[in-house]
């Protein structure tokens, strides 16, 4: 199945992203595709996150990804936005 978000990149905005931003987006996309079954995605989007996913999401640095310190990833806001986009796109 083609990736809808990349297929609709008419302005080639993906070319403007850094490698770190692309990695954050792609890692999150793989996580969602692998760990969140299609039947659970509607509940996930409404804020019902299965608790068994929380440690995995924390390990990936999804929580507080744009914060510096406190054990957070310290990514820039673009990377954080791309992570949220992938979580919400499913």
Q: Does the pLDDT of residue 1 top 50, yes or no? A: no
**In the chain, domain spans:** 20-89
pLDDT in tens, 41-73: 667 667 777 788 889 999 999 999 999 988 888
Q: What is the pTM of this model?
A: 0.79
pLDDT value at position 79?
96
With a cut of 60, say whether residue 2 has pLDDT above it.
no
| Assigned CATH topology for domain 20-89 | Butyryl-Coa Dehydrogenase, subunit A; domain 1 (1.10.540)
Ordered alpha helix ranges (H), the chain: 4-7, 19-35, 41-45, 54-60, 77-89
Mean pLDDT of the chain: 85
Give 68's contacts (C-beta < 8 A, 6+ positions apart). Answer: 74
Residue 7 to residues 15, 22, 31, 49: CA-CA distances in angstroms?
A: 13, 15, 20, 28
If one compares 24 and 70, the residue with the highest pLDDT of the two is 24
């Amino acid at each position: 199945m083609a990736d809808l978000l990349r297929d609709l990149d008419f302005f080639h905005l993906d070319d403007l992203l850094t490698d770190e931003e692309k990695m954050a987006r792609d890692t999150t996309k793989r996580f969602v595709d692998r760990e969140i079954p299609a039947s659970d995605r509607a509940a996930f989007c409404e804020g019902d996150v299965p608790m068994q996913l929380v440690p995995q999401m924390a390990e990936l640095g999804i929580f507080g990804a744009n914060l510096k310190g406190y054990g957070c990833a310290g990514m820039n806001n673009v990377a954080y936005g791309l992570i949220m986009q992938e979580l919400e796109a499913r």
